[in-house]
Structure 1
Amino acid sequence: AQLTRYNSVLKQEVQDMVGFFLISKPKAVKSNAAEEALKYPRDFLAHLSEHGRRVFVKGRYAGMVKTAYPNLKVVSAEENVEDAVLEAEPGSVGLEIVQTGNTLRKKGLVLHGTPLFLSESLYVVDYYRYLKSKPLQKFLERVNPIGYFDEERIKQFALWYLALESNLGDSWIHKPSITDLFCEAQEPENGLRPYRLQTRYWKPDDVYKQEEAMTWLEDSKKKLQDYYDFFAHGA
């Protein structure tokens, strides 16, 4: 839906995107980035699950987290996850929605790795209702929503990542590359395909247009890297 808000880091409007990230309260006085990263496994959440550690989660997401990581000791945060982590002992962790990283930076908390999911404002339309409704067709034509791999969304993703990265600096431990965060290479195998109206019934386990999907994905990731380099370092 391309909803935007002013980003104080980049001093411009940026599309409203968020990630559901693992955050933590540092165990000691912060060291340099390399030393800090060595304190945590790369897949920190899997490590926590393996050892049955406590994780603070906002109530609405608790069930989802328990399903994905049944060995975690999920504790529902009464108010907000950042404060629950901050008030607990050093080394405490939580899962929280992060947009700009402002709150984490102000409270001295750390962000870990890749999010469980990324989210943004979307238009969801019933396809059959769309076919039968001229007003709905006109509405969508007017708002002109963009697709996941459209040029403008790729540009906005680069801005969002750069803003989060710039804001958190070394407090983003095991930070993924922008292209890995955007879309992983195995996703076409898992069902990501170029969409066609006549193929809306394909199943995720087929091999429909996998080669085209891979080319499409690699082209999009190259554009994303180019946009990131431009915004981060200039032309």
Structure 2
Amino acid sequence: MKVVVIGGTGLIGSKVVGRLGAHGHEAVAAAPNTGVNTLTGEGLAEVLEGASVVVDVSNSPSFEDEAVMAFFRTSTTNLLKAETEAGVKHHVALSVVGTERLQESGYFRAKQVQEELIKESGIPYSIVHATQFFEFMKGIADAATEGDTVRLAPVKIQPISSDDVAAAVGRASVGTPVNGVVEVAGPEAYQLDELIRKALAAKNDPRTVVTDPTARYWGAELQENTLLPGPDAHTGETRLPDWLAQQK
């Protein structure tokens, strides 16, 4: 089965391509550096020829409100149009647990638009909602940093390794379209501020994490369970302490 992975040279995409290839599928990495650009449409018709499934794990190069909205709206519209013309039977997209609860954030508003376009396209689909990756903990810290202080709310989060996300996306891509959302999360929940303290300590990062109930997350106010998945979420196997140990 031919599976085209949009964003296939990135962190998640390259892992998805590798997993699918190892299971005997024709997995094609599609990205600007392979001649496929979803913003301009360049190379889309050619790469989708004969494809049964398209997996979209691409991300905006900018998180600025207008730029990220333009990216997901334009990219997704072009991609779905090309898929319809190519006769693609299953569209799989990676999104984020809590997207619908984080609409104060420009990034998550854009992700919500992406999901709505997929649902309205008429193409059978599966949307994988993942919690934040272990690999993005530094990014969370950076976004919340003022000087040498990192301000984070004391809310729950259940982070996951990128390997486990890629496994979930791979499973979705070779399965039957669910025409809905599947959630995936890490095996353990942490308090967000404590999680980032652990991550920074493991890297000998000198910044101080301050617990601030009013601190925002990518511009959105958080409630206790905003970032947590529902009770039916699939859980990955990789524990944070094991992942941290592998980074040294």
Same fold per superposition (TM over 0.5): no
Normalised by the length of structure 2, the TM-score is 0.31
Higher relative contact order (CA 8 A, sep 6+): 1
Normalised by the length of structure 1, the TM-score is 0.33
